Amino acid sequence: MAEIAAYNEAAKSGQYEKPAGLLGKYDNVRRFWEDAQIGLYLQPYLERLVLAKKERGEKLCVMDIGCGSGDGFELLMAINRSRPTAAEHNTKLIEPDILGFYKGIDINEVLLEQARGIYSKNDDMVFVRADFNEFDFQGEEPYDLYFANYGALSHNSDDQTVNLLGAIGKYSRNGALILADWLGRYSYEWQTLWTHDLKHNQWMDYAISYIYAPDEEEKDLTYFPLRIVGRQEVQSIYRGANRRAGGSLALRALCDRSSFVGRHMDTAQYNRHCQPLRGKVNSLFEMSVRTNLEELFVRYVPLESFPRVNAYHQRLAGCWNHLVAYTMALLSDDQPPDPPSGMPSALRRARRAMRTVVQAARNIKTGDPRANLVEPHLGYCLRELEMGLQQGLGCGHGLVAIFEVVK
């Protein structure tokens, strides 16, 4: 299959190895923006589930659907409890003693072998080669969390996903959670693919070209189809799956992730107007490296006949650019720019946070406080800004849906 060949190319490149930083699959944006963002979206629902399991004296069982190298495990184990105090040492939501069993399934044996090598010492984790669309959910004990992350369901047709989600809803216990992720239809990364004809334009030809540096010799890449979806399409899939599940599925959240920082911003492969913003945000999170903040300004080019989508991107770009300019003014003791009209609360919180951090950095005499304190916090604030403005339209690299089984 083309998908297997493409991911094998990525694995052989060496850029799928851990850890990374400015480049590769495990770059800073992946760890400090995308993983963290998905965890924050899931946190309130997972926290309620974990508390219920603890009260009943039960263990948490997780199925990682399309697990690849097992990255979902680290993402889930890094989620913090809500509102821990600054004095607390252990803030993790899933403590090792409550995790009963973790099962990863994928069709790619190369990635599964990588996962087994990483987690071979954990007896409560198994990685199995299987097509998750053919998995017998009735044939084994139900899980508490089904985790289909990072575009896993974009490999599926809608009918396949309806059957998959329907089977999980039908055979799972009350309170079980499903996190599903597709590529967003209206990501700025592939603006050339935006369309109003959702029926006849469901797939994009995708290549993992971002694993190669821009100055590397052009490679013969394998392209494969991936489903791109927006809010309307996910809601249609949900209605079909809920019917198959006997009405036991509830859609709890629909959230955009990775606007302006997706993998193909830097390649500009599907939209020539894209800027290499992921690389610049990677630099914000890199210790002892100062970033040229002027290169963070977003120059968004709208596409006609998509007013709601353009409005979201333009709103985010405007608030993003204001926060960058505001931070630059704080660092240089210049007059801060006037806030945009109708300043959203997410931007107000970000301005307040950056003002506090820059003031604190002035009193730090060790290391490089701009590179190691101010810039990473700007990265976090830009992430929180996106989370505060997103509308779950499919305007990010990914569109995350969270379902709950209700019986």
**pLDDT tens digits for range 250-292:** 999 999 999 999 999 999 999 999 999 999 999 999 999 999 9
Q: Which residue has the tokens 């599907």?
A: 270
pLDDT bucket at 14, cuts 50 / 70 / 90: low
Residue 337 has pLDDT above 70, yes or no: yes
In DSSP notation, 22-91 reads: SSSTT-HHIIIIIIHHHHHHHHHHHHHHHHHHHHTT--EEEEEET-TTTHHHHHHHTPBPSS--TT-S--
Determine the pLDDT at residue 260: 98
User: Same structural domain for residues 62 and 147?
Assistant: yes
Determine the pLDDT at residue 21: 72
Residue 267 lies in a domain: no
Residue 193 has pLDDT above 80, yes or no: yes
User: Same structural domain for residues 321 and 287?
Assistant: yes
pLDDT bucket at 3, cuts 50 / 70 / 90: confident
203-210 contact pairs (CB < 8 A, 24+)? 203/227, 203/228, 204/228, 204/270, 206/6, 207/6, 207/269, 208/6, 208/7, 208/9, 208/10, 209/264, 209/267, 209/269, 210/263, 210/264, 210/266, 210/267
Strand, coil or helix: 406 = coil
User: Same structural domain for residues 251 and 288?
Assistant: no
User: Same structural domain for residues 91 and 202?
Assistant: yes
Determine the pLDDT at residue 141: 92
Q: What is the mean pLDDT of residues 308-320?
A: 98
Query: What percent of the chain shows pLDDT beyond 70?
Result: 94
The CATH number for 198's domain is: 3.40.50.150
User: Same structural domain for residues 71 and 181?
Assistant: yes
pLDDT bucket at 7, cuts 50 / 70 / 90: low
Q: Around 361, how many Cα atoms within 13 Å sit in the side-chain half-sphere?
A: 22
Determine the pLDDT at residue 26: 82
Helices (H), 83-133: 109-118
Q: What is the mean pLDDT of residues 131-154?
A: 94
CB 81 within 8 A of CB 51: no
The residue segments making up the domain with residue 203 are 2-259+393-405
User: Same structural domain for residues 88 and 182?
Assistant: yes
Strand, coil or helix: 100 = strand
Residue 227 lies in a domain: yes
Q: What is the mean pLDDT of residues 85-111?
A: 94
Residue 16 has pLDDT above 60, yes or no: no
Residue 219 has pLDDT above 90, yes or no: no
User: Same structural domain for residues 83 and 182?
Assistant: yes
pLDDT bucket at 12, cuts 50 / 70 / 90: low
Residue 264 lies in a domain: no
User: Same structural domain for residues 376 and 399?
Assistant: no
Determine the pLDDT at residue 226: 98
CB 41 within 8 A of CB 255: yes
pLDDT bucket at 216, cuts 50 / 70 / 90: low
Residue 32 lies in a domain: yes
Residue 218 has pLDDT above 60, yes or no: no
Residue 78 lies in a domain: yes
User: Same structural domain for residues 232 and 338?
Assistant: no
Q: What is the mean pLDDT of residues 349-376?
A: 96
Structural domain total, the chain: 2
Residue 142 lies in a domain: yes
Instruction: List, for residues 169-184, the tens digit of each pLDDT value.
Output: 999 999 999 999 999 9
Cα(318)–Cα(259) distance, integer angstroms: 13
User: Same structural domain for residues 203 and 73?
Assistant: yes
User: Same structural domain for residues 101 and 240?
Assistant: yes
pLDDT bucket at 50, cuts 50 / 70 / 90: very high
Residue 159 has pLDDT above 90, yes or no: yes
Residue 144 lies in a domain: yes
User: Same structural domain for residues 221 and 301?
Assistant: no
Residue 191 has pLDDT above 90, yes or no: yes
Cα(37)–Cα(184) distance, integer angstroms: 15
Determine the pLDDT at residue 10: 65
- Among the ranges given (67-81, 138-152, 191-205, 212-226), the one the predictor scored with the smallest mean pLDDT: 212-226
- Residues whose CB falls within 8 Å of the CB of residue 189, separated by 6 or more in sequence, listed in order: 262, 263, 264, 265, 270, 271, 274, 397
Residue 17 has pLDDT above 70, yes or no: no
Residue 303 lies in a domain: yes
Cα(67)–Cα(7) distance, integer angstroms: 13
Residue 45 has pLDDT above 60, yes or no: yes
Q: What is the mean pLDDT of residues 64-76?
A: 95
